[in-house]
């Protein structure tokens, strides 16, 4: 994981540097700002050194839990990410919970009755949901919310959020959460449902499933113990990737629906060429992705007896 993080951050730093200009290029076009002041700001925010020195200075600060200063916001990147992280985590966790709690049971139901009327209808809806872009669905729902007034059309909480009671704050968060949660969840639910259906249909034809039925086991035991347990393996791996998608998956939805989250913060950093803000977001996303894969690998050993880390190490 350490070499991977080093390679990801180095590559990201090089790609950002390839972008024409930087944050100070716009300031240099303003005649009211003196070149001396711009030079002082470059030194203050760590832009005065050559690229390799800037990268290794940033890397040294990261080892001390310091992600640098945001030149656009004039504050520490750690403070910016900390202030926005809660909104993104709540949105991603809620959408993931709803998506998985609906997609997996529906996928199981249609796979156990393939080519039925319900299977065809739900499969059509799944393909429609996968083909519908998130930003377009967000625009449609915002338009509907504007016409009906049932839901807020933007933001993560109301203006008077701080004056509300604890229960009022929870209700206000939920009220603002419904639309973006639905937008993020609809595409993921469709793909997960199709994946679960395909896995079960494939496993139903496996030899060990036919053997289990031949032994006289009930259909409930065959489905619950032999089919579902093996069909869930790809979903455990997929769940690991979901941690990395906390940042990237919600970025476009947050930008369209004006949500104060990490995705919108990273887009602001890209637009303003705020190098250390972008690098902080890339680092957080990379750590979440790698930790998610590690946790998924460990979880697979609990549900799949064919995976044995001790045996793998001995074979090496």
Has residue 69 been placed in a domain? yes
Residues 242, 162: Cα–Cα separation, whole Å: 31
Residues 134 and 222 in one domain: yes
- What average pLDDT does range 32-53 have in this prediction? 76
Name the residue among 297, 191, 173 with its Cα closest to residue 249: 191
pLDDT value of position 306 = 65
Helices (H), 153-272: 166-203, 207-214, 219-221, 228-231, 233-248, 251-256, 262-271
Query: 243: pLDDT confidence band, cut at 50, 70 and 90?
Result: low
pLDDT value of position 215 = 80
Residues 42 and 182 in one domain: no
Q: Is the pLDDT of residue 291 over 80?
A: yes
Share of the chain above pLDDT 70, in %: 90
Residues 91 and 141 in one domain: yes
Residues 21 and 62 in one domain: yes
Of residues 300 and 16, which shows the higher confidence score?
Answer: 16
Residues 56 and 178 in one domain: no
Q: Is the pLDDT of residue 309 over 70?
A: no
Of residues 22 and 196, which shows the higher confidence score?
Answer: 196
pLDDT value of position 247 = 58
Has residue 214 been placed in a domain? yes
Residues 57 and 117 in one domain: no
Residues 42 and 189 in one domain: no
The pLDDT tens digits for 203-236 are 777 787 788 778 887 777 777 777 777 777 777 7
Whole-model pTM above 0.75?
A: no
Could you tell me the residue range of the domain that residue 259 belongs to? Answer: 85-274+290-305
Residues 166 and 95 in one domain: yes
Residues 228, 200: Cα–Cα separation, whole Å: 7
Q: What CATH number should be reported for the domain holding residue 234? A: 1.10.3720.10
Has residue 282 been placed in a domain? no
- Residue finishing a domain among 76, 106, 140: 76
- What average pLDDT does range 179-197 have in this prediction? 78
Has residue 241 been placed in a domain? yes
Residues 264 and 137 in one domain: yes
Residues 128 and 205 in one domain: yes
Per mean pLDDT, which of 7-11, 251-255, 301-305 is the most reliable?
7-11
Domain count, the chain: 2
Has residue 315 been placed in a domain? no
Query: 245: pLDDT confidence band, cut at 50, 70 and 90?
Result: low
Query: 281: pLDDT confidence band, cut at 50, 70 and 90?
Result: confident
- What average pLDDT does range 176-191 have in this prediction? 77
pLDDT value of position 314 = 55
Residues 102 and 209 in one domain: yes
Has residue 220 been placed in a domain? yes
Residues 16 and 138 in one domain: no
Q: Is the pLDDT of residue 311 over 60?
A: no
The pLDDT tens digits for 82-119 are 877 777 777 777 877 878 888 888 888 888 777 788 87
Has residue 43 been placed in a domain? yes
Inter-residue contact 196 to 107 (CB < 8 Å): yes
The pLDDT tens digits for 109-163 are 888 777 788 878 887 877 777 777 777 777 888 888 878 878 777 666 777 777 7
Q: Could you give the dihedral angle defined by the CA atoms of residues 142, 147, 151 and 154, in that order, rounded to the nearest 10 degrees?
A: 40
Share of the chain above pLDDT 90, in %: 1
pLDDT value of position 305 = 64
């Amino acid at each position: 994981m350490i070499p991977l993080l080093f390679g990801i951050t180095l590559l990201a730093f090089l790609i950002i540097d390839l972008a024409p200009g930087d944050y100070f290029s716009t300031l240099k076009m303003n005649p009211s700002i003196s070149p001396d002041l711009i030079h002082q700001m470059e030194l203050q925010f760590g832009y005065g050194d050559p690229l390799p020195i800037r990268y290794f200075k940033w890397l040294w600060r990261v080892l001390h839990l310091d992600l640098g200063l945001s030149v656009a916001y004039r504050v520490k990147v750690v403070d910016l990410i900390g202030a926005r992280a809660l909104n993104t985590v709540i949105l991603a966790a809620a959408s993931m919970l709803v998506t998985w709690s609906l997609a997996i049971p529906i996928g199981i139901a249609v796979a156990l009755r393939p080519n039925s009327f319900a299977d065809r209808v739900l499969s059509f809806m799944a393909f429609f949901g996968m083909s519908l872009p998130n930003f377009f669905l967000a625009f449609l729902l915002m338009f509907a919310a504007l016409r009906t007034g049932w839901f807020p059309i933007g933001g993560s909480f109301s203006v008077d959020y701080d004056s509300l009671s604890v229960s009022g704050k929870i209700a206000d968060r939920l009220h603002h959460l419904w639309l973006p949660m639905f937008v993020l969840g609809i595409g993921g639910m469709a793909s997960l449902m199709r994946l679960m259906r395909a896995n079960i249909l494939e496993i139903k034809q496996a030899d060990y499933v036919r053997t289990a039925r031949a032994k006289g086991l009930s259909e409930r035991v065959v489905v619950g113990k032999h089919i579902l347990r093996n069909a869930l393996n790809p979903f455990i791996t997929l769940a690991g990737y979901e941690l990395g998608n906390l940042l990237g998956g919600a970025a476009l939805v947050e930008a369209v629906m004006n949500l104060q989250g990490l995705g919108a913060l990273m887009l602001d950093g890209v637009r303003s060429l705020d190098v250390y803000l972008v690098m902080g977001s890339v680092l957080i996303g990379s750590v979440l992705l790698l930790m998610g894969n590690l946790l998924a690998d460990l979880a697979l050993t609990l549900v799949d007896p064919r995976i044995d880390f001790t045996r793998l190490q001995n074979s090496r």
